[in-house]
Amino acid sequence: MVRKVTKAVFPVAGLGTRFLPATKSIPKEIMTLVDRPLIQYAIDEARAAGIEEFIFVTSRGKGALEDYFDHSHELENTLHKAGKNDLLELLRQTNMDSGAIAYVRQHKAMGLGHAVWCARRLIGDEPFAVVLTDDVVMGEPPCLQQMIEAHAETGGSMVATMEVPLDKTKSYGVLDIEEDMGAIVKVRGMVEKPKENPPSNLAVIGRYILAPTVMENLNKLKQGAGGEIQLTDAIADEIEEGRDVFGLRFRGQRYDCGSKAGFLQATVAFGLERDDLREEFAEYLHDVLAMRKAAE
C-alpha cells in the first residue's frame, strides 16, 4: 500500500533578483498575480491535493511571507463591523491554522536540493511533495492533485513533466524515458540542463512527489550542475539504486512566473479566467492589439 502524501516543502529562500527593484523590500512569493500572491496559488493547490503540513524553507528577509498567513484580527474585525462578509471570507482563506506551517532556514544559497534537504527533520520517513512557487499551473484538477492520484497507483517518486522544444531543454531537468505509458512515463535517468543531446523533450517542472530515500541521497551533499546541490541528482540516484521514478504529463498550462515575460503571460491568462474581469480586460487587450496593428 502506497503511503498517503500529507507534507509539502515550499522552497522560498531565493532572493528574486530577476524582479528587482520590487523584491528589494518584498519577497518574490508575495508578488501578486491578479489579486493573489504567488504563494497563495501554491498553497491552494496543495490544499486541494490533501496536503496537511506545509514546510517553508526560508531565508533572511522573508518576514512578510510568514506574516501573510497569520490572522489579521484588526482587519477582520473592521470588515465584520462594516458588513463586508465577502471580503472577510476572502481574507479568511489566507489564514492557516496554528501548527500547519513550519519554517526552516536555508542559511546559504546552495541550490534546490540543499533547500529541500533543510526540511529533512520535518519530513522524517514519509513521502512528501515539493512545490516551487515560480511555476504556476492552471489545471483542473490542480496539478499536484493529479500527481498524488497517480502516485497512489505507482508509488516511488514522481515529477511533473511537459514537452518543450528541443532547443529549450537546456533550461530544464530532462527525462530519459524507459517506458512511455501515456500520461505516465517510467524514468530511466534525468539530466540537469543538458547543453547538447538531450535524452528527450520531456522537461521537469516545479512539482515533485518524493520518496523519503531522496533525503538520504541529499545527505551526500554532492555538488552538481552550476556548483549547486541538485535535486535532480538525488532523484537520479533513486533510479541507480533500483527504486522507481515516474513522470506525469499533467493536464494544464504551466506559467514560469520566475521570469518577467512568464509573469505577464500568467497575469493575462488568469485575468481572462475571472468572471468579474474577463469582459473589461479582454476588451482592453483587443484595443491594445488593434492600436499596435494600426501603428504598423
| pLDDT for position 222 | 62
The average pLDDT across 22-31 equals 86
Go through the domains of the chain in sequence order and give each one's CATH number: 7-258 (3.90.550.10), 260-296 (no CATH)
Tell me: pLDDT of 216 over 60. yes
Q: What share of the chain is helix, strand, coil (3-state, %, to 5)?
A: 40, 25, 35
Please tell me the distance from the alpha carbon of residue 76 to that of residue 74, in angstroms, as a whole number.
5
Which band of pLDDT confidence, cut at 50, 70 and 90, is reported for residue 107? confident
| pLDDT for position 196 | 83
Please tell me the distance from the alpha carbon of residue 149 to that of residue 169, in angstroms, as a whole number.
27
What does the block give as the cell for 293?
496593428
Tell me: pLDDT of 54 over 90. yes
Asked if residues 166 and 285 have their Cβ atoms less than 8 Å apart, the reply is: no
- Strand locations in 45-201, DSSP E? 53-58, 101-105, 128-131, 135-138, 157-163, 173-180, 184-192
pLDDT digits (tens, 9 = 90+) for 176-185: 899 889 899 9
Mean pLDDT over each residue of the chain, to the nearest integer: 88
* Global pTM value: 0.88
Burial grade of 6 (CB within 10 A; 0-12, 13-18, 19 or more):
middle
